[in-house]
Amino acid sequence: MTSTVTAAAVSKNFGAYQDAAVREPVIITKNGRPRTVLIAYEDYLRLAKRDRRVELTTALGDEELSAIEASAMEPGLDHLNLEVLKGKHAAD
């Protein structure tokens, strides 16, 4: 479960909320609206790894497109093909 606290509460007792964020994300509000989230460093690293650079296929040259078409999935990653075929997203 995620905790939601005001920025003022975090300011007064940062250490406690920092400890809480190791267990679960802490949503910090300002003027009653969610503004930031305090999370464990390990969670941040996991999320950062999911960042992907996206390019349009129209920007790729013939050589790059040919390399993609000739590529094969690494052994043990066949489950990723199933996600694509089922219309699932990695973030689900």
Nearest to 37 by CA among 80, 5, 1, 74: 5
User: Looking at residue 52, what is its pLDDT?
Assistant: 72
Rounded to an integer, the average pLDDT of 57-71 is 88
Rounded to an integer, the average pLDDT of 49-55 is 75
pLDDT at 51 over 80: no
Q: Please answer whether residues 42 and 23 qualify as being in contact, where contact means their C-beta atoms are separated by less than 8 angstroms.
A: no
- Do the strands 3-6 and 26-30 form a parallel or antiparallel pair, or are they unpaired? parallel
Rounded to an integer, the average pLDDT of 21-48 is 94
Task: Give residue 56's pLDDT band: very low, low, confident or very high (50, 70, 90).
Answer: confident
CATH among 3.40.50.2300, 3.40.1190.10, 3.40.50.300, 3.40.1620.10 for 3-86:
3.40.1620.10
Q: Please answer whether residues 27 and 2 qualify as being in contact, where contact means their C-beta atoms are separated by less than 8 angstroms.
A: yes
